[in-house]
Amino acid sequence: MRRRRFPTTVLAVATSAALLAGASGASVAPPTVAPTLASVAAAVARAAMATTIPATVTPALANVTNDGPGSFIGGTGHKNPAKLVAVFGDSHAWMWYPALLSGLGATYHLSLTWSPGCPAAAVPGSGYGPNGAAACATWRTATIAAILASKPYAVVLAERTDYVFTAPGVLSTPQQWTAGLESTISAFTAHHIKVVVIGDDPSYTLGFNPASCVARAPNSLSLCEPPVATSDPNYASNAPAEQLAARATGATFINTVPLFCTATVCPVIINNQFVYYDWSHITATYSLYLAKVIAQEANLPAK
């Protein structure tokens, strides 16, 4: 069974100027930024053909563990708080914040509210990590109320969708996920607030820490790049259920799979950038690489 680690802090609103930093606080070179979805797809296709680690990769293999969402310190974007986009969810909302702030920050003021192990979807009994399902349900209700009170122009939801249980040993079903996410989305759309759902990254195919794998097999990347599909039902993603919920409620859904995978494989290094911080989350570097694409796919016009 894969080893799971969850962040234990909650970031309400990020502060100061955008930068990337390692654990020592030293800044590193900013990543390249993909101009279009097609350019990312082309980079993914090239990466799928690679067999060895590039001579230069960002972050360096030894620094991948310092390049998680917490290494990104970002400002709140546009100074006008009336142009607010509220980002809401679990640690997967946190990992997308670098892309969202970089891609939307010139136009919108952004806030981030997240809780470890608490999906945005109101799935009964769901919630992992230190607080559990009851605390997650309370937090979700309070957060929705607080976001509504802030009168945002739009809300962006992102969450982990795989390996989520509703009771000990009982996995959540796609039907529960669709209904739960529809409930959350409708809480905002009922007030004429635009909603964007970022589909989950396909890291459910990773049963291990990819950086550790690459360190052991730098000349055999295919050993560290599992196929898109997996036969283990515990790792089945509810991302398709998210898409159904978005369609039913009029929300915008961003399908992230083409940003990570070909039809058969999900490379761990794309455009000379390490994709995964751990088995579940993407690096801040790769999040920033996708900033323009995520902004384009969010389809939020300038107010």
pLDDT digits (tens, 9 = 90+) for 253-284: 999 999 999 988 889 999 999 999 988 899 99
59 prior amide bond cis, ω within 30: yes
Q: Confirm whether pTM is higher than 0.85.
A: yes
pLDDT at 6 over 70: no
Residue scoring higher pLDDT (143 or 7): 143
pLDDT-above-90 percentage for the chain: 59
Residue (of 25, 111, 16) closest to 63 by Cα position: 25
- Please report the pLDDT score of residue 9 as a whole number: 33
Provide the pLDDT confidence category of residue 240 given band limits of 50, 70 and 90. confident
**Cα Rg of the chain, angstroms:** 18
Quick one: CA dihedral 143, 174, 182, 281, positive or negative? positive
Contacts of 33 (CB under 8 A, 6+ apart): 102, 288, 289, 291, 292
Report the C-alpha gap between 118 and 129 in whole angstroms. Answer: 8
Say how many C-beta atoms besides its own lie within 10 A of residue 57's C-beta: 17
Residues facing 194 on adjacent strands: 154
Q: What is the pLDDT of residues 89-104, one digit of tens each?
A: 999 999 999 999 999 9
So what's the pLDDT on residue 19?
Answer: 30
Which domains, and CATH codes, for the chain? Answer: 19-298 (3.40.50.1110)
Segment 204-215 shows an average pLDDT of: 78
Q: What is the pLDDT of residue 49?
A: 94
Is the pLDDT assigned to residue 113 strictly greater than 60?
Answer: yes
pLDDT digits (tens, 9 = 90+) for 142-153: 999 999 999 999
